[in-house]
Structure 1
Amino acid sequence: MNREKKLNKPVASFILLTNIIFWPLFLLVGAIRMLGFPAWVFDIMLCISAWSSTFAFGVLFKRIYPGQSFIQFVKDKFKNKLKFSVLFTVSMIQVFIFLLILFFVSNNSEVDSIFTKSSWGMLIYFFFKNLLSGPLGEELGWRGFAQIELQKKYSPLKAAIILGFWWGMWHLPIWFTTGYTGIDLIKYMLFFMISILSTTIIIAAFYNLNQNLIISIVIHQSFNFFIGIINENLVDLIMYNAFLYLAAAVLLIVINPKKVLYGKEDTNINNGKHYMS
């Protein structure tokens, strides 16, 4: 039996296939909305489309890691014990950002309520819908594979910047469904990319500190969930997130905790272990 040839550019292949899978799924999501299907059908298809990166990674896995088990790979991403200090620190950073945005919104907004969800039931439903259609579907491919794979060649900071750009570009079709045009669309795209790049750097830092994918899932979930429950003009909301998450990312770059982002002792990760270069 002939074995498949190992991919020479696994990350590039992953990003390309992720987009090839995502675009038709996203078009199907749009068609479902236009044809007036029930909301739950739309939510399910939106969730499936968000898993395009996991689908792409699954398809390519045997050519990226010949002889390895996909199931074991996934298990390994969660095997390290969660560090309370890491989880607590990143949670407090995002709660602080959320509270700052609430302060800005409460002072500047003319809406009746600063929250988009009016009941606990709606809030819980949104939480789990958001979890399934974002973090759980995206983090295995983008962080569990691509971030770590790029760190074999680049520092974690440079890897995060490269990955953040392509992760942001993956959202391209979503940008044009916001209804914004002209300067508002440009502002939305700019602030969105700043938010994505900043969040990717934050994820890289804390994920490398703990080496458990739950860390990146929590960061991703908190970002999406908090922004989704605040009732504010979307461009302004993205702007607040962009500058606050950028400030947090810059602070991490300056502090460079345990040299996880860059430096003379750059941390490269191979098979879940640290190698100092």
Structure 2
Amino acid sequence: MIKRYILWTYCLFYVFLLVIGGALIVFKSQAAVAILIVLSSWTSTFVFVIMFRKIYPQKNLWDFVKSQFSERIKISTILCVFLIQVLVLIGSIIITRTIWNVPISEQVTASWTTILILFGYNLIHGPLGEELGWRGFVLVELQKKFSPLKSAIIVGVAWGFWHAPLWLMSGYSGLQLVQYIICFLGGIIAVSIIITVFYNLNRNLLIPIMIHHLFNYFLAIQAGDVLHILTVTAIFYLMVALVMVLVNYKRCLYGSSDVGLDGILY
């Protein structure tokens, strides 16, 4: 069922991309295209809703969705997630200043209006529309068969290649395109591991949404060369993920039995 879900999520996303391309040619309306782009990021949720009765025949969809947000969120989890990602942002800015000599004042979008708009746009364009399917369903089900770490990597790879058409639309070619793909995929797998850690420690879907949102948002508000920003950010996230793998706090990624959630000590 997981393979079928991923296949249909890919297919629906690609259909949306074709529709977006057609809308650009026929309507030439930026507003219509923006709406379609947002809807395309919700394909994993659309497919999950459509397939829900086959995935969980004994459950009610609305009750399932509510259960994903029912566990009380620990303030310590939120603070830790926020601090880690802010430090990654600061590190990225410092490295960019040091290596490419870009003034800090020129590295972040100056307009407060733009910053606020990007905050809202990046929340509905991805995090709110993707996590119910990728984490609420795929990650949870994979952890019934595999360790959380292996499950996180599988989800990260599937989630990363789901974005594959966007790589070809990035405008890069040759070695730059290769660098873009490697950094994009590496960053997304690292984020998948980080999400798995905190989601297993605090089983509330708001945690993956928050991590995903801050990842996208902090990339969006940084001005300058996208490839440089993505490369540095991906390296920092990979470093954070590596530390989490090595520490394996409360066995949230793997245990002696290596059997997913059974190895997690709460």
Compute the TM-score of the two structures, normalised by the length of structure 1: 0.90
**2:218 alignment partner in structure 1:** 226
More off after superposition, 74-83 vs 34-43: 34-43
SS in 1 for 2:106: coil
**In 2, Cα distance between equivalents of 1:276 and 1:214:** 20
**2:43 alignment partner in structure 1:** 52
Partners of 2:251 and 2:263 within 8 A in 1: no
**1:148 alignment partner in structure 2:** 140
Q: Percent identity?
A: 37
**In 2, Cα distance between equivalents of 1:275 and 1:71:** 29
**1:62 alignment partner in structure 2:** 53
1:103 aligns with 2:94: yes
Of 21, 37, 40, the match for 2:12: 21
Unaligned runs of 5+ in 1: 1-9
Relative to its length, the structure with more helix (as a share) is 2
1:89 aligns with 2:80: yes
Q: Following superposition of structure 1 onto structure 2, how do residues 109-128 of structure 1 map, counting pairs within 5 Å?
A: 109-110=101-102, 113-115=106-108, 117-128=109-120
1:244 aligns with 2:236: yes
Partners of 2:146 and 2:259 within 8 A in 1: no
Unaligned runs of 5+ in 2: none
**How far is the alpha carbon of 1:275 from its aligned partner?**
7.0
**In 2, Cα distance between equivalents of 1:174 and 1:49:** 12
1:173 aligns with 2:168: no
**In 1, Cα distance between equivalents of 2:260 and 2:183:** 30
Of 37, 59, 64, the match for 1:73: 64
Aligned CA distance change for structure 1 residues 17 and 184 (closer, same or farther; 3 Å): same
**In 1, Cα distance between equivalents of 2:27 and 2:101:** 32
Q: Which of structure 1's runs of 4+ aligned residues deviate more than 4 A?
A: 109-112, 274-277
Of 181, 205, 216, the match for 1:213: 205
Partners of 1:266 and 1:276 within 8 A in 2: no
Partners of 1:81 and 1:212 within 8 A in 2: yes
Partners of 1:207 and 1:215 within 8 A in 2: yes
Q: CA RMSD in A?
A: 1.8
Alignment coverage as a number of residue pairs: 263
Letter in 2 for 1:230: Q
